Structure formats: structure tokens, C-alpha cells
Structure 1
Amino acid sequence: MNGNAPRQKQSFVNDYAGVYPLRIIRSQTISLLLLPNLLLLIAAFADPFVPVWAWLLLVPLAVMDILGLAVVISPGKMQEFHLFVLGAIGILGSAAFAAAANKLAYATLDISSPWFLIGSAVGYIVVFALLYGIHMRLLYSGYYSREEQEETEGDTRGLRKTQGIILASSGAGVLVSCVLIKTFGGYSMKITLIIALLFLFALVYIMLAGNLHKFYLLRKRR
């Protein structure tokens, strides 16, 4: 039984490391790029314009657009590379949304303490690490395998619940933090809500980062 465990785990990996159907690749890529292009451009050039923050937002956006354009032009040839693009959009998009939130906090609300930036960066890293750890446990438990999913549903229900709790707690933490900033700092409620929304978008896009792992596994399998 122990001897079959490595082969079983490899089977789970093989099931997980698959490409997306050609019919959805182009539309999926375009739809995922719409939000960053809309919000990050606005955030980069919004008053007050700060060159440093503009570069921090526009460079990741340019990289995402270049990668996405390659997939949109030739989805058939980029079917495998599309996984890398999705993961890159997840990492760069989520980091850029977090940077946009910090830009509003420091350039618009005139927050001077470095703790806002430090706290958001630490929170981003912690949430990413926790979600990736759960993803790895789900992968090797067979959750992503269509054949094994029913058998492992009981074992993975707790992990999926934990994943949901992490996402919900992160979202709630963002909202509570923004309420505290508004309450004790006397800042604009409108800007505070936009900051919270940008952090929530960062949380959503971070879920795409798992496609980088899928791309790595697919290449390794060759």
C-alpha cells in the first residue's frame, strides 16, 4: 500500500496539471485583464500624481498586458503558456492592487506611518503562504482529481472550509482596518472604501497564482 502512495500522488498531480480548453483561453485572458487595466490606470494617474507610485502600478500592468496579448493573438500556440500567464496575472495583479491601495493611503489620505505599508505587505505574504499550503495539501489528497474527488470529499471538506475561513477573515480584516482608519484618522469614507475594495481585488487575484504551480508541474512532467 505504501508503495502505491507515490504513484497515487503522481496521478493526482497529472490530473491537476492540465491545460484549459482552447475555446475559453482568449475570453478568459481578456476578462481577467479588464479590471487591472481600468482600475490601475485610474489609480496611477489620479490626483495627486506621484511618479514612484505610477511606476509601481504601470510596470506590472504593462507586463500583464504583453503576456496577455501573446495569448490573445495566438491562443492555440499558447495553450500551455496560458497557465503561466494566468499565474503571472494573479501575482502581478494582486500585488498591483495592493500597491494601488497603498498609493491612495499615502498620497491621498496623507498617511505618514510606514506601518500601513508594512502591515499590508505582511498580511499579503501570510495569506498567500496559508492558501498555497492548503492548495498543496488538497493537491496531494486527490481533491483536484475527478476520479478521486468523491472518495476524498470528507477528508478535504475541512481544508476547503479552512480556505474559506482564511479568505473571509482576510476580507473582514481589510474592512475592519479601513473602518478603524476612518474612525480614528478622520479620513474620507469614500477613499477608505476604495482602498478596501482594492485590497479585496488583490485577495481575489491572488487565487490565480496557483496556475504558476500548474504550469511548473506540466513542464516538469515532460
Structure 2
Amino acid sequence: MTRVLVVEDDPQLLRAFTINLKARTYEVDAAPDGATALRLAAARPPDAVLLDLGLPDIDGLDVIKGLRGWGQVPILVVSARRAEAEKIEALDSGADDYITKPFSMEELLARLRVALRHRAAGPVAGAGARVVRTKDFTVDMVAKKATRGDRDVRLTPTEWHLLEVLLRNPGRLVPQRELLQEVWSPAHSDHTNYLRVYMAQLRRKLEADPSHPRYLITEPGMGYRFEE
């Protein structure tokens, strides 16, 4: 059974998460603060984490970093913080998705299912042993390893999925809707803001000059393309 760690200091919301997840046959570990969350994650490693950032003891960003020290469990931030800079900081720290309060429980559960599918998918089918090498970075799509120079680049599962779609289609404009449906789900086909945030993340991690990308190209209003 899939285990979800829910980290939320609002007792009513924590109870709502627990009830909804258990109703869908998830096992749930509930933590009202960051220290409890890290202790539970060490004792019973979760398959996914739902994490509020505004915790009473440890900032949620530090909880993300602590969880990332142990592995690549999908982390979905559920927060009232709306500023783009705060969202980017959470993604930079290792979160895989960011859901702003208030939210639809059905949307949150859909994003959780997507994150779990990405975790279970493993290497890209049909990718073979392909390694993509550029002047600035190298990506091994089977080993799921990216490097810049002699430094490993850590990518979240969602970043990997987005990058893999582009690398499988070198030189081809991949429409926004296609990317959203492939990486998230058909229900997210209009959420172009997801692409802007995650493409900015990938450029910061891989491009030599993220403000003037050489490889991860935007075609405004249409989609994105990987140029070899």
C-alpha cells in the first residue's frame, strides 16, 4: 500500500488530508511539525510527501532539504505562500510540485497520482542507452544522471520528465498542451504557468546563461524545443 506523509500544522486540514487519503486506500503518517515529519520519514520511509511550508518549528524548506538528504521521494508543497520567488525557492530546494492554498482536494489528489506515476516509471521506455552531450551539460537518460562539467546536477522527478520529453524530440517544437498532458495530465493542459516555472528551473541548472538559453528554447505562445 502507498504511504503518504502529510506535514501540516492546521489540525482541521491535517484531518481532512488524512480522511481523504485513507478513503482512497493510502496509508497516512501525519505530522504537525517539521521535527515529527523527519522522524516519521526516517522510521517509515514514505512514497510521497504533502508538505506545508509554514511549520511551527522548522521552515518547510529545511524539511525539504532534510528529506532530500535521504532520497528522491516525491514532495508536493501545499502552501499559502503565493509569491513566485517563494515557489521557485521551494522547487530549487527539491520540491516536485507546488500547490497554493486554497485548493481543490480533487486537484491535489490528481497531482499526487501524477507524482507517484513519475516515481514508478523509472527509465524512459525506448530511450535505450542514449546519452545527450552538449558543450555545457551531459544527460544520461537511462541512468537518470545529469552533469555540468564534473558536477552532478540534481533534478526533481518532474524536471526529469519534462527534460526527457524535450530530449526525445531534438529540434522539434513540442506544443505547450502536449508537454502539459505528458508531464502532468490532460486536466492540466491549460496550466502554462507550470511550464514557465519548471523550464526556468531547468535553465538555471543546465544552461550556461539561463537568461539567454542555448538549448532549452521557448517559442512564445506555442511551446518549447531542445536544440542540440
Name the TM-score, length of structure 2 as normaliser. Answer: 0.27
Return the structure number with greater helix share.
1
Greater C-alpha Rg:
1
The structure richer in strand per residue is 2
Ranked by relative contact order (alpha carbons within 8 Å, sequence separation 6 or more), the top structure is 1
